[in-house]
């Protein structure tokens, strides 16, 4: 029997565990491990009650390479799904090499001391994974993840050459709270307050955080027209390298005026700083303190109503007509539908389901390829099929023009 270990028991970890349990025939014996055993046990109990499937639980410190490798060897793991924070990517990749286990994560490595998005440290494992005959899949969430696969699918089936890509992420949900983030507050705020970046004509361009925005008309009446802000996001780094003929790639995300106002005040008073300070003899980062007082993203599920829309607006030369065309490949997800299925809001759902789908490609052998890979380097077709089968159906819309500015 195959054995699958999931590390991370937050909102996304819950979705991954729930979905893997619904396909236990594929994933075999499933383990859920985290620093906090009680979270794992609560998820396991809910899965048992809702599906009848029993998953095993364990307490693990993902920062401890030796202990994690020993645990993987002890349980006889074949696959590790890293749904922990991106701070643990390197230690978990190292543990997989020591234990002989295939690896998958949802976000690129980030140093706790530096809010910087770069795959360099993970790409450096390429030769070691190849020599070990092991596969490492990087960034199998939605963005990164599904967005990378959308681009690979577009290049394989829709365009002979891709000229521009605009990745657009809208959360039109409302939880009714004054201010909350939809995933880890620490990671979310570090991402948003970092300088914006985009790639154009072979060079990276940098702009002040949240300084460029435009309106976008989303293809669902409940979402409508929203203001989107240009951010830096990790999938652009690999896509800029792996999409031939690409001239420009950008990433955009929606934020309400209320969200921006709260974030601005927090930033102005120093609460988004990551540098530790000493208070009463205790050293703590203001951002880490803020994370403790903000609502837990996992608690937002029963509160959030509305939809998300995430997709890739792509221009290029059509395979069918040979002319310049623009298409939007996207998914729309409903917060309440997600909560009804797995007790999670759509942000965790859209990150967790693709992790399970990416893992299905490993277990099936479709993506079993020694080395370290981003998703656009792999065959998109089985992944796209599984999106439709496992809760994230996608659509292709003809668009009359590319995004400006």
- Do 182 and 47 share a structural domain? no
Q: What percent of the chain has pLDDT over 90?
A: 79
The pLDDT, as a whole number, for residue 52 is 97
Domain boundary among 138, 170, 201: 138
CATH number at residue 273: 3.30.360.10
Is residue 199's pLDDT more than 70? yes
DSSP state of 223: T
**Strand order across the beta sheet in which 56-59 lies:** 56-59, 29-34, 3-7, 79-82, 102-105, 135-138, 371-374
The two beta strands, 159-171 and 248-254, are parallel
Tell me: do 236 and 97 sit in the same domain. Answer: no
pLDDT of residue 342: 95
Confidence class of residue 115 from pLDDT cuts 50, 70 and 90?
low
CB-based contacts of 128: which residues, under 8 Å, 6+ apart?
97
pLDDT computed for residue 190 by the predictor: 83
Would 352 be classed as within a structural domain?
Answer: no
Q: What is the pLDDT of residues 148-158, one digit of tens each?
A: 999 999 999 99
Given phi > 0 = left and psi -120 to 50 = alpha, else beta, which region is 262? alpha
**% pLDDT > 70, the chain:** 100
Domain identity same for 19 and 158: no
Q: Is residue 189 part of a domain?
A: yes
Same domain, 25 and 169: no
* Domain co-membership, 170 together with 129: no
Same domain, 133 and 161: no
Res 143: pLDDT: 96
Among 83, 117, 138, the domain boundary falls at: 138
Residue 231 shares a structural domain with residue 214:
yes
- β-pairing, 248-254 with 196-200? antiparallel
Does 221 share its domain with 120?
A: no
Domain tally, the chain: 2
Q: Which residue has the higher pLDDT, 242 or 302?
A: 242
Tell whether 387 is covered by a domain.
no
Within this chain, do residues 256 and 212 fall inside the same structural domain, yes or no? yes
269 in any annotated domain: yes
pLDDT band with cut points at 50, 70 and 90 for residue 300: confident
Residue 266, domain member (yes or no): yes
Reported as a single tens digit per residue, the pLDDT across 317-336 is 999 999 999 999 999 999 99
Q: What confidence score (pLDDT) does residue 240 get? A: 97
On whether both 245 and 183 belong to a single domain, the answer is yes
pLDDT class for 358, splitting at 50, 70, 90?
very high
Task: Please tell me whether residues 150 and 254 are part of one structural domain.
Answer: yes
Handedness of CA 252, 254, 257, 262 (dihedral sign): negative
Higher pLDDT, 132 or 118: 132
- Is position 200 within any domain? yes
The count of C-alpha atoms lying within 13 angstroms of the C-alpha of 51, restricted to the half-sphere facing its C-beta, is 19
Q: What residues make up the domain containing 29?
A: 3-138
Assign 1 a pLDDT band (cuts: 50, 70, 90): confident
Q: Average pLDDT in the 164-182 region?
A: 91
Kindly report the CATH number assigned to the domain that includes residue 36. Answer: 3.40.50.720
Domain-ending residue, one of 111, 138, 165: 138
């Amino acid at each position: 029997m195959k054995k699958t270990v999931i590390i991370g028991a937050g909102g996304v970890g819950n979705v991954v565990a729930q979905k893997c349990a619904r396909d236990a025939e594929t994933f075999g014996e499933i383990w859920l491990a985290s620093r906090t055993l009680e979270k794992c046990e609560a998820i396991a109990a809910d899965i048992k009650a809702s599906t009848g499937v029993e998953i095993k639980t364990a307490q693990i410190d993902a920062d401890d390479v030796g202990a994690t490798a020993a645990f993987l060897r002890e349980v006889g793991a074949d696959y590790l799904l890293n749904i922990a924070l991106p701070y643990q990517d390197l230690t978990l990749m190292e543990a997989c090499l020591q234990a002989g286990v295939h690896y998958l994560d949802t976000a690129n490595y980030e140093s706790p001391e530096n809010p910087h998005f770069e795959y360099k440290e993970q790409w450096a494992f390429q030769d070691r994974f190849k020599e070990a005959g092991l596969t490492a899949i990087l960034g199998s969430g939605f963005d990164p993840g599904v967005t990378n696969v959308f681009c690979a699918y577009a290049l394989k089936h829709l365009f002979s050459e891709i000229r521009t890509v605009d990745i657009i992420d809208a959360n039109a949900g409302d939880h009714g709270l004054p201010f909350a983030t939809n995933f880890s507050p620490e990671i979310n705020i570090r991402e948003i307050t970092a300088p914006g970046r985009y790639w154009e004509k072979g060079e990276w361009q940098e702009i002040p955080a949240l300084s460029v925005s435009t309106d976008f008309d989303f293809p669902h009446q409940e979402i409508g027209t929203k203001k989107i802000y240009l951010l830096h996001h990790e999938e652009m780094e690999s896509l800029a390298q792996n999409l031939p003929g690409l001239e420009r790639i950008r990433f955009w995300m929606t934020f309400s005026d209320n969200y921006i106002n709260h974030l601005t005040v927090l930033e102005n008073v120093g609460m988004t700083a990551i540098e530790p300070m000493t208070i009463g003899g205790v050293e703590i980062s203001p951002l880490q303190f803020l994370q403790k007082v903000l609502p837990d993203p996992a608690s937002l599920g029963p509160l959030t109503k509305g939809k998300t829309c995430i997709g890739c607006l792509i221009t290029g030369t059509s395979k069918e007509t040979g002319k310049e065309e623009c298409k939007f490949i996207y998914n729309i997800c409903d917060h309440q539908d997600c909560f009804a299925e797995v007790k999670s809001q759509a942000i965790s759902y859209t990150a967790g389901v693709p992790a399970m789908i990416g893992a299905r490609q490993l277990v099936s052998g479709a993506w079993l390829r020694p080395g370290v890979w981003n998703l656009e380097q792999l065959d998109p077709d089985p992944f796209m099929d599984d999106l439709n089968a496992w809760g994230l159906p996608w659509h292709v819309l003809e668009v009359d023009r590319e995004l400006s500015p």
